[in-house]
Structure 1
């Protein structure tokens, strides 16, 4: 059974809070829950830190708490230090019945910096093996608390390209799982269907992000930063004619392998230019139609 979620970053951006700063929190929740009809929503900087306050707030709009991002710093600290750092996050997730913890290594990333994506960090083979072993140590701790660690491959980080994803997955396991992001996969030079097919058995969370190829080309050709690309509209939702990612074969792969979990539309855009209510509605309707067509069974 699958559930469809969204991320508040479509309304109010976490990395650039000026995007959507004028949008009231109540509007985000009302549109995501009552108007569009998502099953749940991921974490955002507007939500309360207290686990019970968070549960009550979202439940008031018919939304479950899906999960939330945790920035890892394993390249600069020990596994023990990282476990201490992630523990409050795990407790919040457990209180809200979450099944996955979304993590990404950010200690040396350029995703939030005014630097070109080409300057992103790269690990050699030995470095990736060492990093993977440390991630696996944290993942084992999460698993002991009944939560799967799902690693988010992401532009501007040490796990960006399809080769990075393959090397990372080879360096981890069995506890480390994958958050497959269709948009970051395509932006990073991968064939989303091929990458998902290779690793689907370890996929526990899915981000349905689309990419505008013309904006991607401007980012790469102009030496722009990741956030320059976001502000310019490099990402969009499933079903947008401007997007290049075909979601039908991706959902078909998930259906064949019996995927059960969240499919989340995480597609950050400038809400002053692209209305979140309209775009998120398009994205959810597209995913529901394709899920029915490919045999993915949504929860009732």
Structure 2
């Protein structure tokens, strides 16, 4: 598998705040993504969750199913119990030919709660990383045996947000668990995404590309905003419309093979999804070429 470019429907219809783009039909999202040139889509809340129905929804647009987000609760339950909850989602991904599982711990996350500023996000005790990493690794080994690689999504408002968190996660987990490198969450969380790419390139199996508007990020921090309020105000945008140096990131991944996904949530009433997807796709393909990956 060489590099393929996909999209996440969150640019059309938000999952954490479903009123953003709630009126946009799934068919519009898929048609516009196809028009722009994307080869595949990640799942969102408007997608069918039964294999035949999902295949029927994607087929008219020639779209592959890239993967889909899974909300884990490994702080509350062991790996065997988590696998029971994961089973239906994992089976769907397998049926669709997806080879990565987007996985994030959300049992104590605050990114979906507008009443809580990001300053109140959960922080893991140093003594708890080993057990959490052991559970993650056990799940990752189980999914890998079934042909699907667990890729962990570090995310604002969760226990894996900062550079220190990401480093602790990678130290605590075994080789079966890989990282989903998200340029937007890394930058906002205080990490250099190119440095993360250099450090963990052998364990990065999925990439989310979103850009960060520096002025909005700084205002969010200064005014103690929640994650969703920051999104509404435009902290994220498509590649090439913010502060992230994507060419430097991609140059650190010279042997990368897999999906590169534009996942740049904005308020679609402020940022027309087709317009921004078009801009993002053009910039992303240019950045990949400049880095020698296409």
Stretches of structure 2 that go unaligned for 5 or more consecutive residues are none
Aligned mates of 1:188, 1:290 — CA distance in 2 = 23
* CA displacement at 1:125 relative to structure 2: 1.7
Q: Is the 8 A contact 2:194 2:250 kept in 1?
A: no
Aligned mates of 1:171, 1:278 — CA distance in 2 = 41
1:100 aligns with 2:100: yes
Aligned mates of 1:167, 1:19 — CA distance in 2 = 34
Residue 166 of structure 1 corresponds to 167
Q: Deviations over 1:199-248 (max 9, x none)?
A: 111000000011111111121111111011111111001121xx110111
Aligned mates of 1:173, 1:281 — CA distance in 2 = 38
Q: Aligned ranges for residues 187-198 of structure 1 at < 5 Å? A: 187-198=188-199
* CA displacement at 1:56 relative to structure 2: 2.1
Match of 2:261 among 257, 260, 264: 264
Residue 149 of structure 1 corresponds to 150
* CA displacement at 1:59 relative to structure 2: 1.9
Residue 245 of structure 2 corresponds to 246
Stretches of structure 1 that go unaligned for 5 or more consecutive residues are none
Aligned mates of 1:294, 1:221 — CA distance in 2 = 35
Q: Deviations over 1:86-109 (max 9, x none)?
A: 111110000010010000000001
* CA displacement at 1:49 relative to structure 2: 1.0
1:37 aligns with 2:34: no
Q: Deviations over 1:229-279 (max 9, x none)?
A: 111111001121xx1101111111112xx1000000000000001111111
Aligned mates of 2:178, 2:240 — CA distance in 1 = 27
* CA displacement at 1:156 relative to structure 2: 0.5
Aligned mates of 1:159, 1:293 — CA distance in 2 = 31
Q: Is the 8 A contact 2:156 2:189 kept in 1?
A: yes
Residue 5 of structure 2 corresponds to 4
Aligned Cα RMSD in Å? Answer: 0.9
Aligned mates of 2:279, 2:272 — CA distance in 1 = 11
Give the structure-1-normalised TM-score. 0.96
* CA displacement at 1:161 relative to structure 2: 0.3
Give the structure-2-normalised TM-score. 0.98
Q: Aligned ranges for residues 1-300 of structure 1 at < 5 Å? A: 1-33=2-34, 35-113=35-113, 114-240=115-241, 243-255=242-254, 258-297=255-294
Q: Is the 8 A contact 2:65 2:98 kept in 1?
A: yes
Query: Which sits farther off after the overlay, 287-296 or 66-75?
Result: 287-296
Q: Deviations over 1:75-124 (max 9, x none)?
A: 01111110111111110000010010000000001111120101111112
Q: Helix, strand or coil: the match of 1:104?
A: strand
Aligned mates of 1:128, 1:192 — CA distance in 2 = 22
Q: Is the 8 A contact 2:122 2:159 kept in 1?
A: yes
